[in-house]
């Protein structure tokens, strides 16, 4: 049953539909009309600005007809039809209050338990079949990472992975970078020993929101890849000590990279970034490029460092970690705003050659949303 | 005169240097040591993680010698040298409290008064001379936009502009997009009438932080480009009505673009984005891609819409606007997280052909910082 009532001043309607009730303001309704004079039928872009809506807009009549809600707006004296399903799906009259550190819609926190069920797709299937692509992208949106197996073994094959959902973001490291290490015990800097899980390039702003790492050679022993859910780590910190969560999310850290001529990348961003309503937005964690903390008041600094240390301990906890070994033609993708990654040490003879590149999560989410929503509906 | 004192528990030093006094904690000092065992001499990256520093770290001795501060850390019993100038430049023991809506370091708010002095560089000079490049980039960092004159007139010349500081960010619109409009009064969608100043692609996340618009043909009358300082607009809103500033910065808006097959870009971000300490981070304003607001509580919504309307009025105020006309070979660059742009309407015969592309501000800031800081110092 669908029912609508209009407030005496014409400012608010109350809609009962599909077993739920929600109120809507006249200004919101007029702004979100889908008639062809308000929204371009082709691409859905709004043709009017807020300045085109009278500041005294109100509703002079509300009725139901043919399953549509028909609202007449004053002073323009125009009747516009609304889909009750669309309205209820976009209602803002809710009691729900999410606590600081809540997960974004669709995200699911994970720990080492996910090792039994590492999100994975098959390259050919994901490339050729919409449903396989949708399923692979949905895992990335949900968990912040996924493997891709069965890909080609050739220089630049990682770009084929990016083509599945978006566009490479070139940086000062190039369109791609080589992670090619001849095992050589005299060169300790390249052994990977003691490499803590991290997010990439926190000194970049905006940070690259996707990293792809693609395996081309892997005959050395060890060298497994490891990932940690930064959102799960942040939420565990909050459970253990809400004050420490607040101090890390309430102050900016600093990151810097000046390792090559002509480059001096610097950022000022929190290690735990929240949306204004407290929902987790991003995690930045990288000891190598962490610069001096200068935005934390003197009296707060000891607590900040205690929180930073504990967050690192949580990230280092094997109970948080999922690891896997990639073979040539296999790759993995991380949401670099959420999931930390690391490479375990390796030794012995043999080679290990990976290629990496950056891209952005909006392409992942856009491609996923387009696959989940028939085109026709999207344009309406 | 330089002087240092150590607290009895070894947790804090107080440094007098260059006429200022600041306290530093032992944990901060140890974490920010620049000795070659802590920081790689080549690229400055930190070689240790916080887990490598003893949780009970303290200072057992502090002395000055040869202009350096020499600190001995316990329990590791190691003496490390610090540059007092570096310490004072990075001190966090400050009383300064910035009000919400403060400008980021180095930014200067502007209005129509800047029209007398539009930030501009000459293409050849900026390309060939470090000082001209530094000066041009410094204007972008300060004002959020700058023109570039005297460039080549050929397809793709805008990429030469991006090469001056960074890398193109390709999107679903391609590496570049055409803004080529034959003047045709029967096609009102392309006249540009009533196009409100906006930031580009707020539905993308991360948003492209730089847009370059490059003029290749301009024989039509009108079609001037116009820019508005979004930070100045947000600060004016705060001066007029702090509650409205808070309501826009405290809640997420929604943006969406689904105008082509396979694309359904959606974002959930505030129109006025602040850092955790209230410093202005970004402005998003675009009526065409604004989606239904669903993250504002029912009781707050009228105030949200009033604030949104007033922000639009401020943006529309000619007193805020700087406009200029571009000729072939001229271009302008905006910091798309801060400066709104619009194209004025045009009419009559003739053609207008612009090309646009996206890039990122971190390249602007990195190239500027590298030009301002001699390489040697950066690596130390």
pLDDT recorded at residue A185: 41
Min distance B262 CA to chain A CA atoms (Å): 5
Supply A95's token pair: 């009691």
Closest chain A residue to the Cα of B90, Cα to Cα:
A294
Q: Smallest Cα–Cα separation from B171: which of B206, B214, B213?
A: B206
Higher per-residue pLDDT: B351 or A356: A356
Residues 334-363 of B with CB under 8 A from A: 360-363
Within chain B, which residues score under 50 in pLDDT? 184-189, 375-380
pLDDT recorded at residue A378: 42
Averaged pLDDT, A347-365: 90
pLDDT recorded at residue B192: 56
Averaged pLDDT, A77-95: 96
> Residue A216 and residue A154: Cα distance in Å, rounded?
7
Asked whether the CA dihedral B159, B162, B167, B170 is positive or negative, the reply is negative
pLDDT at A348 over 70: no
Burial of B270 (0-12, 13-18, 19+ CB in 10 A): buried
Q: Smallest Cα–Cα separation from A219: which of A356, A353, A355?
A: A353
Q: How confident is the model at residue A86 (pLDDT cuts 50, 70, 90)?
A: very high
Indicate the pTM of the whole model. Answer: 0.95
> Shortest CB distance from B169 goes to which of A169, A249, A309?
A169
Interchain pair A206, B32: CB under 8 A:
no
Min distance B62 CA to chain A CA atoms (Å): 20
Question: Mind listing the domains of chain B with CATH numbers?
Answer: 2-89 (3.30.2020.30), 112-371 (3.60.130.10)
> Residue A17 and residue A85: Cα distance in Å, rounded?
8
Interchain pair A206, B362: CB under 8 A:
yes
Supply A83's token pair: 């889909």
pLDDT recorded at residue B205: 95
pLDDT recorded at residue A58: 98
Instruction: Write out chain A residues lying below 8 Å of B289, CB-based.
Output: 45-46
Closest chain A residue to the Cα of B56, Cα to Cα:
A306
Q: How confident is the model at residue A182 (pLDDT cuts 50, 70, 90)?
A: low
> Is the backbone peptide bond immediately before A140 cis, with ω within 30 degrees of 0?
no
Reported as a single tens digit per residue, the pLDDT across A17-32 is 999 999 999 999 999 9
pLDDT recorded at residue A380: 38
Beta-carbon pairs below 8 A across chains A and B? 238
Supply A106's token pair: 């669709």
Choose the weakest-confidence range: A43-52, A84-93, A167-176, B310-319.
A43-52
| CA angle, residues A220, A224, A228, in degrees to nearest 5 | 165
Mean pLDDT score of chain A: 93
Question: How does B2-29 read in b/e, with b if 16+ C-beta sit within 10 Å?
Answer: eebebeeebebbebebeeeebbbbbbbb
Higher per-residue pLDDT: A328 or B186: A328
Supply A52's token pair: 């085109």
Q: ipTM for the complex? A: 0.95
Among B253, B257, B310, B362, pick the best mutation site for testing chain A contact (most A Cβ within 10 A): B362
Averaged pLDDT, A74-85: 97
- Is B259 an 8 Å CB contact of chain A? yes
Cβ atoms of B213 and B225 within 8 Å: the answer is: yes
| CA angle, residues A146, B173, A330, in degrees to nearest 5 | 20
Supply B288's token pair: 């065409």
Radius of gyration of chain A, Cα coordinates, nearest whole angstrom: 25
Cβ atoms of B301 and B292 within 8 Å: the answer is: no
Task: Count how many residues are written for chain A.
Answer: 380
Give the count of beta carbons closer than 10 Å to the beta carbon of residue A64. 14
- Is A46 an 8 Å CB contact of chain B? yes
């Amino acid at each position: 049953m669908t029912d609508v009532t209009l407030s005496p001043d014409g400012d608010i309607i109350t809609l009962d539909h599909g077993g739920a009730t929600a109120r809507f303001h006249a200004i919101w309704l007029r702004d979100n009309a889908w008639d062809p004079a308000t929204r371009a039928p082709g691409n859905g872009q709004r043709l009017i600005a807020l300045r085109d809506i009278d500041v005294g807009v109100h509703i002079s009549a509300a009725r139901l007809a043919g399953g549509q809600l028909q609202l007449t707006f004053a002073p323009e004296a125009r009747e516009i039809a609304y889909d009750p399903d669309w309205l209820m799906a976009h209602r803002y009259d809710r009691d729900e209050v999410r606590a600081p550190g809540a997960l974004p819609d669709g995200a699911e926190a994970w720990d080492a338990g996910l090792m039994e069920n590492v999100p994975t797709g098959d390259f050919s299937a994901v490339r050729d079949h919409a449903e396989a692509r949708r399923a692979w992208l949905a895992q990335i949106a949900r968990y912040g990472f996924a493997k891709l197996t069965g890909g080609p073994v050739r220089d630049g094959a990682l770009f084929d992975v990016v083509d599945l959902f978006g566009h490479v973001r070139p940086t000062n490291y190039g369109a791609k970078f080589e992670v090619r290490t001849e095992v050589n015990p005299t060169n300790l800097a390249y052994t990977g020993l003691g490499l803590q899980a991290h997010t990439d390039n926190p000194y970049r702003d905006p940070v690259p929101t996707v990293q792809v790492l693609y395996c081309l050679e892997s005959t050395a022993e060890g060298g497994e890849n490891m990932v940690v859910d930064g959102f799960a780590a942040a939420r565990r910190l909050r459970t253990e000590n809400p004050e420490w969560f607040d101090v890390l999310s309430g102050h900016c850290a600093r990151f810097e990279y000046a390792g090559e001529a002509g480059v001096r990348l610097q950022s000022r961003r929190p290690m735990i970034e929240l949306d204004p309503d407290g929902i987790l937005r991003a995690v930045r964690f990288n000891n190598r490029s962490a610069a001096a903390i200068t935005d934390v008041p003197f009296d707060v600094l000891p607590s900040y460092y205690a929180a930073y240390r504990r967050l690192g301990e949580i990230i280092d906890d094997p109970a948080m970690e999922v690891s896997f070994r990639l073979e040539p033609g296999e790759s993995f993708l991380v949401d670099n705003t959420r999931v930390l990654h690391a490479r375990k040490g390796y030794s012995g003879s043999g080679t290990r050659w990976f290629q990496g590149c950056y891209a952005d999560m909006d392409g992942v989410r856009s491609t996923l949303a387009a696959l989940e929503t028939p085109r026709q509906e999207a344009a309406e």
